[in-house]
A = this chain, B = another copy of it.
Amino acid sequence: MSSYLKAKVVENRSLHPLYKLLTLSPQSPVEEPRPGQFYMIGVTPDPFLKRPFSYFRKSKDGDIQIFFRIKGKGTSILADLKKGSFVDLLGPLGRPYPSPVGDLVIIVAGGIGIASLYPFIGALEHKPIVFYGTRSSEELFFVDDIREHAQEVFITTDDGSAGERGLITDRLERFLKALDKPFTVYACGPAKMLDRVSKITVRRNGIAYVSVEERMACGIGACLGCVIKTRSGYQRVCREGPVFRADEVIW
């Protein structure tokens, strides 16, 4: 059950000029979010529509944290929110990451894609192997936390300022070539990355789940605005997703 309520800004911390960690205290009871689910967050009257953000984690006080990157108008307005102000919060929404079947879980995060995968990494029974690619070392976040909950963390950056220089999908591909066990991949990041992850995984007979993005209006399945093309027709990212089986999605 999702709810619609006011939430108070407890903190809106800058982790980088473009990345913020927003801590929200819901002013009425809310359902426990599960990794992979998201919230619609807004301030009226501007921006007009709410924006979707993944559940990132709970703060020490049990408040909801959102980790976001400033992209355009909506995220700029959210980035300017002061402590003590209020937002409209709708959620948790969408389907969470499904539990893995086997033991070997591979996580692939591109950029801000880490936001939705972070709580999933922490919640897994068996420590996963994490692939995390970003532009540069400055845009790598929470790596120590992740290491704690991971068997191993592979990092790539576009500029080589941390980990290997190059694409995270190339690093993943190399890794999978050397792997001879069944595995499940969970990926979140830019569409191009997800497409690539999907192809690589299929080639190695693995299963991949991807968390995809699309512009949203309602967030609750009512407007049919957020569809992506899948083998079973257009599916709503906010309702059937945001997590889809990669081989279902038509890129």
List residues of A whose CB falls within 8 A of some B CB: 45-46
Contacts and interface: CB of A to CB of B under 8 A. Distances in A.
Smallest CB-CB A-B distances: 2 pairs: A46-B46, A45-B46
Nearest to A73: B45
2 contacts: A45-B46, A46-B46
A203 to B, nearest CB: 49
A81 to B, nearest CB: 13
Contacts of A45: 46
A46 B44 CA distance: 11
Nearest to A82: B82
A46 B45 CA distance: 8
Contacts of A46: 45-46
Nearest to A44: B46
A45 B43 CA distance: 14
A106 to B, nearest CB: 45
A45 B45 CA distance: 10
A99 to B, nearest CB: 45
A82 to B, nearest CB: 8
A74 to B, nearest CB: 13
